[in-house]
Structure 1
């Protein structure tokens, strides 16, 4: 049976990426994940690769899904390190390296000083090909069929399209988790994390792809507007099987932070950002409302760098995308929950 979709996941695990990867892999064989490319984001690139391997191993698909290390730095390196270890933990996965599958020799990594994990490159990543090269190659191999699910900073995608300007024409679609629609940021007052980590890559990607292939954008506010009910997710993760135990443990740190925000009225429920982009990519009929808009990413300033500027009134600017991008505003929460539940069935 031929798959209905061919997906390449570009990611930076992060706990929410782990949920997203598991959701996508659970759709096999209907959905074929042709590869996963890793990018510096929530944690450093070495740790991102380790976290990806642990997740794919949990799903029993290490022999089916190739994993590639991509870019370890943004397009332009700015002063000061940016990561989300305060939220995801020092290892990006809740600082529980002993939860199966463990971060040890079996996944190509071994614990060092409790949190810092070092990589045994050969066992972690037998695919020596760089993630950017893998993106270009797979787009040619699956020309006209491949959809990229980009749920981290867009560095790999931006570099790939600079090396291969025809890349957008080869894709069926590009699905992005990033940016804001109403300027409600999660890293600065107005900037979303993925775009803030590498604003130049976000701008390069949006401008390069908008004219040549379908681009769907799930913004941070869309995740906030469709929060997962606390009781529902707690019940879903309540079980003794390996997968539920793994996610229950790696999610505890994020969970406690979000429960505190919920108690303060800052969140409506759990927001596992990347899962929304997966749902849109794999079940497009979950979209209840969207708009096609032109936009650009602010590259300067002290307050607004990395913020997404949307041309709501069609004023125009040479710094905006030439083509429109479909901004997802409303999705069916029932479908999202159903897809997430199937990942644990």
Structure 2
């Protein structure tokens, strides 16, 4: 197998933490970031696509192809997450209208093409609902055998949900798509799902003091003013919501953690198990059900993250932002 660096493709529904994940990908993966696709979720497809292009431009990567995908989930009863991310999806932040147009290629075609271009070298990351990935698997059932690594931010495996008591937003938003994806990956010769769920993402947080320390470190880098303003303005909306809920101002780094693990799997400890998604429960639709003990007799299809080196993730993120500012 080639020893050249792996390639990275990210599927997003760009809200605040997706934006941070994209910034991290630009700084940490550099030219290995070969494409981005967008999906409905936190905000509409149009807003997610606009946000994605604007964030990539902020990072100096307006050259990265952004392919719009599904505008509605396979199970279209879901609502968006603008209450968390703000009406635009980027909190209080405002970014210039991007100059580079979105691609005319559909996300599904872009994902399949990226995986087939160099089989065994692509890290595919999904930080939003799994609608595009499900459609891609339906288009190309061999997709799980073409990617080297498939990481999702999604699910709650030994933790409570964040949209219902049992379900995490990305899975709940399109449980039918999530079930298709979990059942497609992890078979013979296929990459497993690497599931970065609320169990570990809630352990990686940043707050205002972290952003102030980053500002002090960035100095007079050419991109520092715009980057820092974006981070501060977008985070402020999230901080305000968390303060109302918990009395503390902080932001959970859900999506940046998924991208970080795609590039450095050693950041988390995982446990292999069979996972499926509840699609018809009166109280549990969108729940990720884990068979830790093999009672189903199914092939274990998922590497479930059970522990994270939170301080190393935080250090890598801030170092990446410092490079991006510079």
Match of 1:187 among 133, 138, 163: 163
- Partner of 1:204: helix, strand, or coil? helix
For the pair 1:151 / 2:150, whether they are aligned, the reply is no
Quote how far apart the aligned CAs of 1:94 are. Answer: 1.1
Task: Give the conservation status (yes or no) of the 8 Å contact 2:183–2:301.
Answer: no
Residue aligning to 1:227: 205
Q: Normalization by structure 1: what TM-score?
A: 0.85
| Higher fraction of helix | 2
Measured against aligned partners, the alpha-carbon deviations of 1:223-276 in whole angstroms (never above 9, x if no partner) come to 113334653344325676210111111221111112333427xx9x53121111
Quote how far apart the aligned CAs of 1:333 are. Answer: 1.6
Write the distance in 1 (CA, Å) between the matches of 2:212 and 2:176. 38
Query: Structure 1 residues 322-331 or 18-27, which shifts more?
Result: 322-331
Task: Give the conservation status (yes or no) of the 8 Å contact 1:237–1:247.
Answer: no
Write the distance in 1 (CA, Å) between the matches of 2:106 and 2:51. 17
Write the distance in 2 (CA, Å) between the matches of 1:20 and 1:49. 15
Measured against aligned partners, the alpha-carbon deviations of 1:93-117 in whole angstroms (never above 9, x if no partner) come to 11443xxx32x3xx15xxxxxxxxx
Q: CA RMSD in A?
A: 2.0
Quote how far apart the aligned CAs of 1:28 are. Answer: 4.0
Task: Give the conservation status (yes or no) of the 8 Å contact 2:204–2:313.
Answer: no
Measured against aligned partners, the alpha-carbon deviations of 1:283-340 in whole angstroms (never above 9, x if no partner) come to 11222x32101111000123100010111222106xxx63331111111122211221
Residue aligning to 2:287: 307
Residue aligning to 1:114: none
Residue aligning to 2:91: 94
Q: Normalization by structure 2: what TM-score?
A: 0.90
Residue aligning to 2:272: 292
- Partner of 2:164: helix, strand, or coil? coil
Residues 164-313 of structure 1 mapped to structure 2, 5 A cutoff:
164-211=140-187, 212-228=190-206, 231-236=209-214, 241-263=225-247, 269-287=250-268, 289-313=269-293
Task: Give the conservation status (yes or no) of the 8 Å contact 1:237–1:248.
Answer: no
Measured against aligned partners, the alpha-carbon deviations of 1:195-225 in whole angstroms (never above 9, x if no partner) come to 0000011110011012111321111121113
1:261/1:76 Cα in 2 relative to 1: closer, same or farther (>3 Å)?
closer
Task: Give the conservation status (yes or no) of the 8 Å contact 2:129–2:174.
Answer: yes
Write the distance in 1 (CA, Å) between the matches of 2:310 and 2:212. 16
Q: Which runs of 5+ in 2 are unaligned?
A: 219-223
Query: Structure 1 residues 147-156 or 211-220, which shifts more?
Result: 211-220
Task: Give the conservation status (yes or no) of the 8 Å contact 2:93–2:230.
Answer: no
Q: Which runs of 5+ in 1 are unaligned?
A: 109-122
Task: Give the conservation status (yes or no) of the 8 Å contact 1:216–1:328.
Answer: yes
Write the distance in 2 (CA, Å) between the matches of 1:186 and 1:294. 22
Task: Give the conservation status (yes or no) of the 8 Å contact 2:182–2:301.
Answer: no
Quote how far apart the aligned CAs of 1:181 are. Answer: 1.2
Q: How many correspondences in the alignment? A: 312
Measured against aligned partners, the alpha-carbon deviations of 1:10-44 in whole angstroms (never above 9, x if no partner) come to 01010000000000110244x61110000001000
